[in-house]
C-alpha cells in the first residue's frame, strides 16, 4: 500500500460525506432546544467544528470542538459508531493508514 508523504497535509475523509454520515446518526433534540440544535448542529457548525477520534472497540467518536466560550455548551460528544460503519468514507490516501475501511460502504 502507498503511504502518505505528509499525513498532516491531506484530507483524511470526504468532507461533506462525513458530515452527512454524522448528521444522520446524531439524535434529534441533542441539545434539548430547537434553537440550540440549529446553532450547534447547523451546516456551518458541523463543517467548522466536527471532529472525529478513535477509541477501543474499535469505534469512531464524533464530537464538536472549538466553539467559543459563549457557545461552549455545543462542544462535546455527539455519537459513537463502530469503525466498520465508516467503510468507504476515508480518502484513497487515508486507506493506507486505515486498510480495514477499504471497500464500498456497508448498507444500513
Over 70: is that where the pLDDT of 47 sits? yes
Predicted pLDDT at 18: 85
pLDDT band at 11 (very low <50, low <70, confident <90, very high): low
CB 74 within 8 A of CB 64: yes
Domain spans of the chain?
11-98
The full DSSP string for 35-81 is: HHHHHHHSHHHHHHHEEEEEETTTEEEEEE----GGGGGG-EEEEEE
Distances (CA, A) of 53 to 2, 28, 70: 23, 22, 24
Amino acid at each position: 500500500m502507498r503511504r502518505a508523504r505528509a499525513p498532516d497535509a491531506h484530507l483524511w475523509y470526504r468532507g461533506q460525506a462525513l458530515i452527512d454520515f454524522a448528521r444522520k446518526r446524531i439524535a434529534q433534540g441533542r441539545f434539548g432546544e430547537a434553537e440550540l440544535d440549529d446553532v450547534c448542529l447547523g451546516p456551518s457548525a458541523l463543517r467548522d467544528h466536527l471532529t472525529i477520534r478513535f477509541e477501543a472497540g474499535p469505534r469512531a467518536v464524533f464530537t464538536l470542538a472549538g466553539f467559543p466560550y459563549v457557545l461552549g455548551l455545543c462542544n462535546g460528544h455527539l455519537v459513537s459508531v463502530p469503525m466498520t460503519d465508516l467503510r468507504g468514507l476515508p480518502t484513497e490516501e487515508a486507506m493506507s493508514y486505515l486498510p480495514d475501511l477499504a471497500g464500498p460502504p456497508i448498507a444500513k
